[in-house]
Amino acid sequence: MRIAVLAKQIPHPSEMRLENGQLVRDQVRLETNSYCRRANAQAVAMAGEQGEVVVFTMGPPSAEQTVREMVARGATRGVLISDPAFAGSDTLITARVLARAIEREGEFDLVLTGEYSLDSETGQVNAQLAELLGLPFIGPCKTLHVVDGVAVAMVELDGGYADVEVLLPAVASAAERLCAPSKASPDECAAVPAARIGHRTAADLGFQPGEVGLAASPTQVGTVLETAIGNGRAGARTASAEEALRLLDALPPAPGVDLSSSGGSAVPRAADGRDVWYLADPTSGPVDPDLLNAVRALARRAGRRVVGVVGDDVGAVAGAVDGVLRFCGANAPDDWVRPICAKIERARPHCVIFDATNWGRELAARIAARLGWGLVGDAVRFTVEDGAVVAWKAAFSGQAMVPISSSSPTLLATVRSGALAGSPPPGDVPGRAPIETVLVASVSKVIYSPTRDPDVDARELGCARCVVVVGRGVDPGEYGELDELRELLGAGPLAATRKVADSGWLPRTRQIGITGRSLAPELVVSIGANGGFNHSAGFVSAGRILAVNVDPDAKIFEVADVGIVGDWRRVVRELCAALRDREVTALPAPRG
């Protein structure tokens, strides 16, 4: 079996920092992305002694260390793709370069990648690569093996798991829980013979200077706004629940985290007549009303209509859009990509906003690769500048907010459910929307089983304006003690730290952090969690953070606006009493 592995070198997540709006790389510890380490470990195990594993790394000369590490841990050989001409390449150009390099090395049975990289957190390259190579894609895979030329995997979905099968060749991505990562010591890396590492430049791969790098990239990153974890947080501590609520009331809006795109009033219809499209995932349940409201408000501010692109369920966007494009029939991402690309090329919408579910991310990435257009992954904010929509996203594990514009005819962007929470609907109410229907044939080679272990509350968590997160300090037998607090706050389902999810106390779909979900609700209440960097990065964009922990030295207090030191049971009782007796203006009201 012949397997290609993609590996990326990144700054260590805990050492990522910004100076003057730029990521500091000098004298910063570099390491191989942890998801890529898992991809390599899995590939080596699957290939066995008779197979071949070839590692591909694109980056500066220092990235050779990543190639060496993967070879030291069992890969047959590696290819470092490095050239100053590649500097500034976005995900589309990166995928094109990697696809060319893989094709030059001959046919592979499987291309294995990490789910995403921890520095940019796009998760786009794997599906873009699949589209460019003309291959099916599965992932992120919790289990993966090959039987008689068929890849069999358990894939993590937004609300559970699904068993999938696909005939090779294919592209697959490794989830965090697929296997242990492959790590090598500096001495083991240094011992790798130079002959086992090949080097490729832009010219070696047949690229002209203008075809790669920043100049060729359809997305452009603007000035970085620093929103490092902890910056702008008051950090006040108290032992009193009543005092904590008063402190929350007194807080001004947190800088850099106003994610609503609904400010301002509608403007006259744009002269070009191009619409804003919202593409709802037909496989993930109800549409996030806050996201739909935000899309409507954004469109009105840009002087544009909203077209809802849906599957069979037209009612998902009824009464909220000006037009409906319904795709009936098959609903796999690679089923939709050809017909929707044809519609997008013909209509040239101003922007297309996708649900950032597994389904939406794959479809958006495939569309971007097929059309050669720019894609912004997991946008958390939209602004309108000179009539053009600009998407903003969090990067560097939540330490920065960056505006990203696109030189493509249409801006493509994915948005996580809950990222635009609190967006009120614009004042106008669309009339009866015309419906255009497109029949979609089944062309996907991926066979999905029904979702197993579904977490029906996962979608609600993403839409919640208030989230209560529990750590190992709260025993699962006592979760019921939090019900009244959640009801008074109008909070969604309980969320969890990784240790809680790994212990099986709450589903994996509730895990918050770098290797879980990222949320941007109006309020996060953390109870009994230490709040390490990998966890707190998942809610850095929250409007307010209230932490409760008995340990005064818990890391969660470093990122919280207000902290209450004390036994969580006492604090929760006092919070409930205070919330029943007074109006707390800083906290969201329950949904109607």
**Rounded average pLDDT over 482-490:** 93
Q: What mean pLDDT is predicted for residues 178-183?
A: 90
Q: Which two tokens stand for residue 553?
A: 């030295």
Q: Are residues 405 and 552 in the same domain?
A: no
Q: For residue 399, what are the CA distances in angstroms to 26, 259, 531?
A: 17, 15, 16
Q: Where residue 422 falls among pLDDT bands split at 50, 70, 90? A: low
Residue 44, domain extent: 2-217
Q: Which residues contact 278 (CB under 8 A, 6 or more apart)?
A: 291, 292, 295, 306, 307, 308, 309, 317, 321, 352, 353
pLDDT above 70 coverage of the chain, percent = 84
pLDDT digits (tens, 9 = 90+) for 260-273: 333 444 456 777 87
Average pLDDT score over residue span 520-542: 84
pLDDT above 90: percentage of residues in the chain: 55
Based on the fold, state whether residues 431 and 488 are members of the same structural domain.
Answer: no
Residues 202 and 243 in one domain: no
pLDDT at 277: 96
Look at residue 254 in the predicted model and tell me its pLDDT.
45
Of 408, 442, 476, the one marking the end of a domain is 442
Instruction: Report yes or no on 586 lying in a domain.
Output: no
Position 256 scores a pLDDT of 34
Reduced to 3 states (helix: H, G, I; strand: E, B; else coil), residue 196 is helix
- 458 lies in the same domain as 346: no
pLDDT band for 425, please (50, 70, 90 cuts). Answer: low
CATH of residue 71: 3.40.50.620
Tokens of 495: 């969320």
The residue-averaged pLDDT of 533-547 equals: 82
| Of 210-214, 242-246, 271-275, 524-528, minimum mean pLDDT range | 271-275
Q: In this predicted model, what pLDDT tens digit does every residue of 219-230 receive, in sequence order?
A: 988 766 655 444
Residues 106, 246: one domain? no
Residues 31 and 137 in one domain: yes
Q: What confidence score (pLDDT) does residue 439 get?
A: 95
Angle 549-555-557 (CA atoms, 0-180°, nearest 5)? 60
| Nearest of 475, 508, 585 to residue 160 by alpha carbon | 508
* Stretch 241-265: mean pLDDT: 62
- Please tell me the predicted confidence (pLDDT) of residue 375: 95
Q: CATH no. for residue 476?
A: 3.40.50.1220
Whole-structure pTM value: 0.85
Question: Alpha-carbon distance 587 to 430, whole Å?
Answer: 31
Cβ neighbours of 582 (radius 10 Å):
12
- Which pLDDT score is estimated for 25? 61
Specify whether 319 is located in the same domain as 460: no
Helix intervals (H) in 215-357? 241-250, 289-301, 333-347
Query: Which residue has better confidence, 26 or 422?
Result: 26
Domain-located, residue 25: yes
Residues 137 and 233 in one domain: no
pLDDT band of 129, cuts 50, 70, 90 = very high
Structure tokens at 237: 């501590």
Q: Are residues 196 and 239 in the same domain?
A: no
Q: Quick one: pLDDT at residue 95?
A: 96
> Is pLDDT of 449 > 60?
yes
Indicate whether 119 belongs to any domain.
yes
User: Which segment of 152-161, 511-520, 555-564 scores lowest on mean pLDDT?
Assistant: 511-520
Residue 592 CB coordination number (10 Å)? 4
Considering the domain boundaries, does residue 589 fall inside one?
no
Place of tokens 């497109």: 438
232, part of any domain: yes
Domain boundary among the residues 196, 217, 238 is at 217
449 lies in some domain: no
d(CA 531, CA 533): 7
Q: Looking at the structure, do residues 41 and 171 belong to the same domain, yes or no?
A: yes
Asked whether residue 448 is domain-assigned, the answer is no
- Answer whether 268's CB lies under 8 Å from 303's CB: yes
The least confident of 110-114, 487-491, 495-499, 583-587 is 583-587
Q: What are the strands of the beta sheet with 170-174, ordered from one edge?
A: 197-200, 77-81, 52-58, 2-6, 110-114, 170-174, 137-147, 150-157, 160-167, 446-448
Whether residues 240 and 331 share a domain: the answer is no
Q: pLDDT for 490-520, tens place per residue?
A: 898 999 998 998 888 998 888 898 767 778 7
The per-residue pLDDT for 255 is 39
Q: How confident is the model at residue 426 (pLDDT cuts 50, 70, 90)?
A: low
pLDDT class of 583 with cuts at 50, 70, 90: low
Q: Indicate the pLDDT class of residue 11, thresholds 50, 70 and 90.
A: confident
Domain boundary, last residue among 387, 408, 442: 442
Kindly report, residue by residue over 394-419, the tens digit of the pLDDT: 766 556 677 888 899 999 999 876 66
Residues 457-477: tens digit of each pLDDT: 776 777 788 999 999 999 999
Q: Mean of the per-residue pLDDT values for the chain?
A: 85
Report yes or no on 153 lying in a domain.
yes
Total domains in the chain come to: 3
Looking at the fold, whether 397 and 517 belong to one and the same domain comes out as: no
